[in-house]
Amino acid sequence: MKKKRMAKGLSGLMAVLMLTGLLAACGGNNDNASPSASSSTEGSPAASTGSSAEADPAQMSGTVKVWDWDEAFQTGMIAEFNKKYPNIKVEVTVVNPNDYLQKLQSGIASGSDVPDVILGESAYRGKLFDLDVLDNLEAAPYNFDKSTIVDYVLPYVSNSKGEVIAVDQSLTPAGFAYRRDLAKQYWGTDDPAEIAAMIPTWDDFIAKGTELKDKSGGKVLMFPGLGDAFLALKGQNFGSYVNGTEIDLTTKLQKPLQKLFQMKDAGILGKNELWTPAWSSSMAKGEFMFYPMAPWGAKWHIAANDPDGSGHWGLVKAPEGGFTRGGTAVGIYKDSKVKDAAWAFIQYAYLSDEGSAYNFKTFGNMTSSKSFYETQKALIEAPGPYDEFFGGQNLASYFMDEIVPEVQGEPQSQYDSVVDSVFNALYPLWTKDGSATAESALKKFIDETKIKANGATIK
């Protein structure tokens, strides 16, 4: 009897212990974050008042947390960075760009895990800037001099107050990748300069496209779809279209839409949606002449979808000027405990001559730092990793000399993502609906934006 009672008591005790254990485990998980955070505070460089660039790299220490989707880049770059800054530890978490902002918001809202170095991909950059979570890099402890970066980049890394809050991961001036074999077959040349001379304006582009369509019997068209054409057309219209809560779509989109529908009516556009399987496979098939492409596109866009197409491709500038495509801004979380160390990493990886040289040679990324293009001329002119794929054309020089001078910056806005999502929803409908016109399209665009952009006035 006594034994039984004791067993009962013991089991009760066990239950209590297990419960305590469970709760302690829960609590323990939450606590884990804070000690590491505080230890990195202690480890952060003492000299936070002076300009960090002049501090002795070997003396700087701390743990910098980075969220990036490109693991290969970080693995390579961190090894290079640690050669100069052996005591700064950089921890990378791989985060999918599609979930990036969502994860970041949840992290900040719940007060849990937030990286010190934050990446803003073009798709959500305006929204990220609007959240006011990135530190002003022109202020202490960074004291970044914005005149050192390529001028057109400034709007892409500034918030609505005009403060520079990020640096560019890589320049993203865009031209058109084109099929050399098709150009030679139908236009008699595959030389970029000669092709650029054929299409100085969009009207010439349409005329040339109509000719191409007729010559090929409709087998080869200019662009794979409305989405590709619009990237260039909208991208060339650099004017700001957002003023506070006023969105001026008419000024921004009227002209691009008119040209888009001219092309569509001329029958020189395919019926593919961007990034669909059919669109991807069209590159290897040689059904379309042009694909808008920025430097990152050589690897991720063209070579990725046409792996056997080495030598088939070329790069030419767009009619009527340059535009940009994609791009990622890199900033520092304003409540970061290791601002100096984070800034040292950003400076090294994206701005310094040594980091940029490694970045360029290994990944083809082009820094926004002006000085790099003066001091490293030989490197730019040497063959890059994808030059051979593009028929031996020097891509970096072409981007820098032919396209960058024509590019202006486009101010970022929180409404960019709404406008993009409206366009993504509408252009497949225009592709399908033969009766849509530029006017009806603009009206529809404005109506749809009205529904989605809460509290904004749209014209």
Partner 1 sequence: MSVSSAVSRKRKWGPRMWPYLFSLPFVLTYAAFQLYPVIYSFVLSLYDWNGISDRSFIGFKNYVQLWTNDPLFIKSLWNTLIMMGMFIPVTLILGLTLAYWTFHLVRGKNLIQTINVLPYITTPVAIGFIFSYLFDWQTGLVNLFLTKVGILEEGFYWLQDEWGSRAIIALMVVWRNLGYFMIIYMAGMTIIPQDVYEAAKVDGSTGLHTFRTITMPLLRNITVFLVVTSVISGFQLFDEPKLLYGGWSGSAQVGGPDNSALTIIWKFVDESFISNTRFGYASAIAYSLFLLILLFSIASYRLTAPKEDKR
| Binding stretches for partner 1 (CB under 8 A) | 5-6, 9-10, 12-13, 15-16, 19, 22-23, 26, 97-98, 101-102, 105-106, 108-109, 123, 127, 131-133, 227, 271-278, 281, 417-418, 421, 424-425, 428-429, 431-432, 451-452, 454
Shortest gap between Cβ of 156 and partner 1 (angstroms)?
18
Shortest gap between Cβ of 195 and partner 1 (angstroms)?
27
Phi and psi torsions of 449, nearest 5° = -65, -35
The residue among 197, 322, 218 whose CA lies nearest residue 269 is 218
CB nearer to partner 1: pick between 113 and 211 = 113
CB nearer to partner 1: pick between 31 and 145 = 31
CB nearer to partner 1: pick between 190 and 273 = 273
Shortest gap between Cβ of 161 and partner 1 (angstroms)?
15
Cα–Cα distance, 216 to 204 (Å, whole number): 18
Looking at the DSSP bridge assignments, the partners of residue 91 are 65
Dump the DSSP string for 278-322. HHHHHHHHT-BSEEEE-TTHIIIIIIHH-TT-TTSEEEEPPTT--
Shortest gap between Cβ of 15 and partner 1 (angstroms)?
6
Cα–Cα distance, 252 to 239 (Å, whole number): 7
Looking at the DSSP bridge assignments, the partners of residue 386 are none
Shortest gap between Cβ of 122 and partner 1 (angstroms)?
10
Asked if the peptide bond before residue 292 counts as cis, ω within 30 degrees of 0, the response is no
Distances (CA, A) of 405 to 223, 236, 357, 410, 412: 25, 13, 22, 15, 20
CB nearer to partner 1: pick between 59 and 112 = 112
| Token pair recorded at residue 346 | 């950003």
Shortest gap between Cβ of 422 and partner 1 (angstroms)?
8
Q: C-alpha angle 64/168/103, rounded to 5°?
A: 50
Shortest gap between Cβ of 270 and partner 1 (angstroms)?
8
Collapsed DSSP state (helix, strand, coil) of residue 221 = strand
CB nearer to partner 1: pick between 35 and 434 = 434
CB nearer to partner 1: pick between 335 and 388 = 335
Shortest gap between Cβ of 332 and partner 1 (angstroms)?
15
CB nearer to partner 1: pick between 18 and 58 = 18
Shortest gap between Cβ of 257 and partner 1 (angstroms)?
18
Can you say whether the dihedral through the CA atoms of 352, 358, 364, 365 is positive or negative?
negative
Shortest gap between Cβ of 240 and partner 1 (angstroms)?
20
CB nearer to partner 1: pick between 150 and 458 = 458
Please state the separation of Cα 359 from the chain's center in Å.
16
Dump the DSSP string for 5-58. HHHHHHHHHHHHHHHHHHHHHHHHHHHHHHHHHHHHHHHS-S--SS-GGGS-GG
CB nearer to partner 1: pick between 65 and 127 = 127
Say if strands 328-332 and 246-247 run parallel, antiparallel, or are unpaired. unpaired
CB nearer to partner 1: pick between 328 and 356 = 328
Cα–Cα distance, 80 to 356 (Å, whole number): 11
Shortest gap between Cβ of 94 and partner 1 (angstroms)?
16
Cα–Cα distance, 113 to 243 (Å, whole number): 34
**E strand or H helix at 444, and its extent?**
helix 438-452
CB nearer to partner 1: pick between 225 and 309 = 225
